[in-house]
């Protein structure tokens, strides 16, 4: 559990330290195929695999537009504010800086990301559980319920005269997975089956925080 004094210190920070955070960014590696205006959600497409690109319906993003978010990192000692959007399909945040799109080169340094009322954290891979990557937290600190957001690609195969090719045609949401986490220590993620309604998840998260956080 993160010490309360550290959290209060982090929340009281008001300086925007984008320069110090820039070293954790790397250029966005998605392939736009030179058709971003016509195909806004084709960043995940590998042009070595697909010979023809159809319009993809649906979005890999939580929000399509970049929205200014707050990033706490380096043990809550530093904070930055950058335009962000969360790519659910690739489970990564994209950051907009100087008209260029970046991803985080060292996401394990990130303590929290606040975006449009949502709280995210990064879980390192562990042999003790299957959960890893960016997850949504239902409270700012542990213990809490965390959610791994998921979506998937529906593909269609086309039969041509010389060869067949497969294109993605839809991006659809999958059922999110929810876990109980006592702390950020590796090996403490318990999967919770059957949770669907947002109200039930929020209620459970409140009970977890109240009972286990004592």
pLDDT at 37 over 80: no
What are the tokens at 1? 């559990």
Number of H helices, E strands in the chain: 3, 13
Task: Convert the pLDDT of each residue in 143-193 to its tens digit.
Answer: 999 999 998 888 777 776 777 767 777 888 888 999 998 887 655 788 888
Q: Which of the listed ranges 50-54, 107-111, 163-167 does the model predict with the highest average pLDDT?
A: 107-111
Q: Is 14 exposed, middle or buried (0-12, 13-18, 19+ CB in 10 A)?
A: exposed
pLDDT given for residue 58 in this prediction: 84
Label the pairing between strands 177-181 and 164-173.
unpaired
Whole-number Å distance between alpha carbons of 33 and 43: 8
Q: What is the dihedral of CA 10, 146, 211, 128, to 10 degrees?
A: -100
Is the torsion defined by CA of 37, 42, 44, 50 positive or negative? negative
Mean pLDDT score across all residues of the chain = 75
pLDDT per residue over 71-86, tens digit each? 999 889 888 899 999 9
The stretch 39-65 carries a mean pLDDT of: 59
- When pLDDT is averaged across residues 27-38 and rounded to a whole number, the result is 37
Question: Which residue matches tokens 């559980």?
Answer: 129
Whether the predicted pLDDT of 63 surpasses 50 = yes
Q: Is residue 151 within 8 Å of 39, Cβ to Cβ?
A: no
- The secondary element (H helix, E strand) that includes residue 77 is none
**Phi and psi at residue 155, to the nearest 5°:** -105, 160
């Amino acid at each position: 559990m993160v010490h309360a004094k550290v959290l209060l210190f982090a929340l009281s920070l008001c300086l925007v330290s984008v320069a110090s955070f820039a070293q954790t960014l790397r250029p966005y590696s998605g392939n736009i195929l030179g058709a971003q205006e016509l195909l806004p959600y084709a960043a995940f497409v590998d042009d070595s695999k697909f010979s023809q690109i159809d319009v993809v319906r649906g979005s890999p993003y939580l929000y399509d537009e970049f929205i200014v978010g707050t990033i706490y990192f380096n043990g809550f000692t530093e904070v930055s504010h950058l335009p962000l959007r969360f790519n659910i399909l690739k489970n990564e945040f994209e950051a907009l800086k100087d008209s260029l799109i970046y991803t985080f080169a060292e996401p394990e340094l990130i303590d929290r990301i606040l975006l449009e009322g949502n709280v995210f954290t990064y879980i390192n891979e562990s042999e003790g559980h299957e959960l890893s990557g960016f997850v949504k937290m239902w409270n700012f600190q542990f213990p809490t319920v965390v959610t791994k957001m998921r979506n998937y690609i529906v593909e269609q195969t086309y039969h041509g005269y010389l060869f067949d090719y497969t294109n993605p045609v839809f991006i659809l949401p999958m059922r999110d997975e929810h876990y109980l986490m006592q702390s950020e220590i590796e090996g403490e993620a318990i999967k919770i089956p059957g949770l669907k309604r947002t109200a039930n998840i929020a209620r459970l998260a409140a009970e977890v925080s109240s009972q286990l956080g004592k």
